[in-house]
Amino acid sequence: MNKYKGKLLIADMDGTLLNSSRELESRRVEAIRSFTLQGGLFTIATGRMETTTRRHFPELKLQIPAIFYNGALIFDMKDNKPLWEDFLPPYAKNILKDVLSKWTQTGCEVLCGGEIFVLRKNRYTEEQRVREGFKPIFQSSVDVKGRWYKILLADDREKLDEINAYLLEQCMKSDRLSINTVFSEKNLLEILNADTSKGRALGVLRKILREKGFDIDKAYAIGDGENDVELIREADVGIAVANACEAAKRVADIIICGNDKNIISECLDYI
């Protein structure tokens, strides 16, 4: 059967595809399987790394490339190789050094080469480590070798709002300073390359799929967070879950049930 031929469904993970306990329920896996068996294409767009996603969700057998690091990487899980990458500029190290000197209790991670380098830990970075089950590399210096996908800052929301405002002010003062910031969780602020977003990565992914011979006539994207706004906006049909933030709901074409219900089955009612 080819009921869903030409249809691409791309889902955020935390707060969307995963339930409130951050589990991937079997009923969602079965709904995805039904969708793909009937000609549909399914993948994910997440802030997580490709390595930990594969390790912790082996039942999520993706047949097409997926988006990781909130849009900085498109990775082919079948062939185990990157297809497209968007790195932070080299001066990101100076930005990070400046931030850490001014906010001395803020937790910090650098994500690079499939690893997480923890430059400063606090309770929020520890909660994230336990939640996502990764093994960090602890390093006190900002001189992390390699090209960085993103920087993650962890603190109380009030502190992160201060940092975000400061970074935006610095960008406005200098034409040569160009970065993007986005909240992936209430207590997690990410620094990315200027044009990096899940939405931009979706556009690149569609081009990659066309080059691979897939004919996509409509893309559906579902998410919940501030980091999903561009993804929902970029899709032909943007979907927000009931537990989504207001910014995601405002740009969505459809609002469905919350992430503790069978969201994939409900999505299929609209495809």
Q: How far apart are CA 270 and CA 79, in angstroms?
A: 31
Examine residue 21 and state whether it is found in any structural domain, yes or no: yes
CB 14 within 8 A of CB 47: yes
pLDDT of residue 166: 96
State how far the Cα of 174 lies from the Cα of 253, in Å rounded to an integer. Answer: 36
User: Do 111 and 81 fall within a single domain?
Assistant: no
Q: What is the pLDDT of residue 176?
A: 73
Cβ–Cβ under 8 Å, residues 114 and 146: no
CATH code of the domain in which 107 resides: 3.30.1240.10
Which residue among 193, 228, 258 closes a domain? 193
Specify the pLDDT at position 175. 72
Q: Are residues 66 and 101 in the same domain?
A: no
Tell me what pLDDT residue 213 has.
94
Indicate whether 182 and 205 sit together in one domain.
no
DSSP string, 93-150: HHHHHHHHHH-TT-EEEEEETTEEEEEE--HHHHHHHHHHT---EE-SSS---S--SE
| Residue where a domain stops, chosen among 159, 193, 227 | 193
Domain shared by 189 and 100, yes or no: yes
User: Same domain, yes or no, for 106 and 177?
Assistant: yes
Residue 2 lies in a domain: no
CB atoms within 10 A of CB 21: 7
Domain termination site, one of 151, 171, 193: 193
For residues 49 and 24, give the distance between their C-alpha atoms in angstroms, rounded to a whole number: 16
Report if residue 1 sits inside a domain.
Answer: no
- Whether 81 and 205 map to the same domain: the answer is yes
Tell me: do 80 and 201 sit in the same domain.
yes
Pair (145, 175) in one structural domain = yes
pLDDT at 11: 98
Per-residue pLDDT of the chain (271 residues; tens, 9 = 90+): 789 999 999 999 999 999 999 999 999 999 999 999 999 999 999 999 999 899 889 999 899 999 999 999 999 999 999 999 999 999 999 999 999 999 999 999 999 999 999 999 999 999 999 988 889 999 989 999 999 999 999 999 999 999 999 999 988 887 777 899 999 999 999 999 999 999 999 999 999 999 999 989 999 999 999 999 999 999 999 999 999 999 999 999 999 999 999 999 999 999 9
Question: Which pLDDT does position 131 carry in this prediction?
Answer: 87
Domain hosting residue 135, numbered range: 92-193
CA-based nearest residue to 209, from 27, 64, 105: 64
- Same structural domain for residues 184 and 221? no
Cα–Cα distance between 229 and 120 in angstroms, integer?
29
pTM across the whole model: 0.95
Closest CA to 100 of 175, 163, 24, 188: 163
Total number of domains in the chain = 2
205 and 245 belong to one structural domain: yes
**118 and 55 inside one domain:** no
